[in-house]
């Protein structure tokens, strides 16, 4: 999937205009990323108050964390 470029335009006063669809898309990217990061880190750290996870689940969590970090660094 090719990410859409955010197209901006300026109004008569020179202010950059961003559509509501672009704002919602940006916020959803942030929310999904934060949820995946928190979940992945909790699984990797394996705190005492969570059930213990097997190695395959930890590998998947490491993949989530890596994918999210890679997405935001690209």
Q: Which two tokens stand for residue 4?
A: 């859409």
Rounded CA-CA distance 9/32 in Å is 27
Q: What is the pLDDT of residues 11-52, one digit of tens each?
A: 677 777 778 888 899 999 999 999 999 999 999 998 888 888
Give whole-number Cα distances, 69 to 7, 16, 21, 64, in Å: 24, 28, 24, 9
pTM over 0.85: no
Helices 55-73 + 20-45 axis angle, to 10:
140
Q: pLDDT tens-digit profile of 52-63?
A: 889 999 999 999
Report pLDDT for 65.
95
């Amino acid at each position: 999937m090719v990410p859409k470029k955010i197209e901006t335009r300026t109004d008569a006063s020179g202010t950059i205009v961003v559509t509501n669809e672009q704002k919602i898309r940006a916020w959803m990217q942030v929310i999904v990323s934060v949820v995946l990061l928190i979940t992945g880190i909790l699984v990797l750290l394996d705190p005492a108050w969570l059930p213990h996870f097997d190695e395959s689940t930890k590998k998947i969590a490491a993949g989530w964390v890596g994918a999210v970090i890679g997405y935001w660094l690209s």
